[in-house]
Structure 1
């Protein structure tokens, strides 16, 4: 950082907690034996994480999970930094971040590099969610389908 009046405070408590959660996720995944066991356990982990969320986040995460898994069955649900995420060939394509996780005013549906959402020289990779309506579900389905094709 430059300037004399700005100081780096380090990671927030929420960011540190997410990193610790990710380390636990990696250790848990490494202990699982077969590929089928890993997939089934990973989905159970995602559903359990969603169930822990507060009402608004939980309802949106359940809908996002249903839309993503129905639209792109090739995406494997897994936890990623304590968030429900969906991977293709082990690489996270998209994820749901609850509003409560980082004390934000909205939840986020995010897409990582493997998502094929390229549109010219600039495109969105994160979308704020305050509610998952049928129209939002249709948009999520279209984004996910585009991301994996």
Structure 2
């Protein structure tokens, strides 16, 4: 997959299958609809924001598969139950120079008396991907 192209056809097919699996589960229709809404919003993003959102979606699926994909204020988010743990604020929506990766109070990032809860993402590199994976892994405990 090209990082800037969004989801590949194979990934789209797998995500559609996952949405169908969710619909088949008890109470899964709402989760499937939330996943579909998230994917549609990601696909509609400008290329740079889409690349970051796709990467986050893949990373969360790998390191925190128990988080539920959804949108939050129209942006990609991942929740545990009703509590959003991690989310994006994409630059194109807010007309700012960088996308922000954010973590809510339910994220287990506490570190003494002060710690960051949001991170500017100006470019998607291997190092940035690794840092995002580490933060998400830590956030879910």
CA distance in 2, matches of 1:57, 1:42: 19
Q: Secondary structure at the match of 2:53?
A: helix
Q: Secondary structure at the match of 2:40?
A: helix
> Within 5 A, what are the aligned runs for 1:94-109?
94-109=86-101
Which region of structure 1 is more displaced relative to structure 2, 63-72 or 78-87? 63-72
Give the superposed CA RMSD: 1.5
Deviation at 1:119, TM superposition (A): 0.4
Which residue among 41, 54, 66 is the counterpart of 1:49? Answer: 41
TM-score when normalising by structure 1: 0.76
Which residue among 53, 56, 64 is the counterpart of 1:64? Answer: 56
TM-score when normalising by structure 2: 0.80
Deviation at 1:134, TM superposition (A): 1.4
1:138 aligns with 2:126: no
Query: Which ranges of 4 or more aligned residues in structure 1 deviate by more than 4 Å?
Result: none
Deviations 1:80-110 (A, max 9, x none): 0000000002100010111011111000100
> Within 5 A, what are the aligned runs for 1:1-149?
35-149=27-141
Q: Secondary structure at the match of 2:36?
A: helix
Structure 2, unaligned stretches of length 5 or more? 1-22
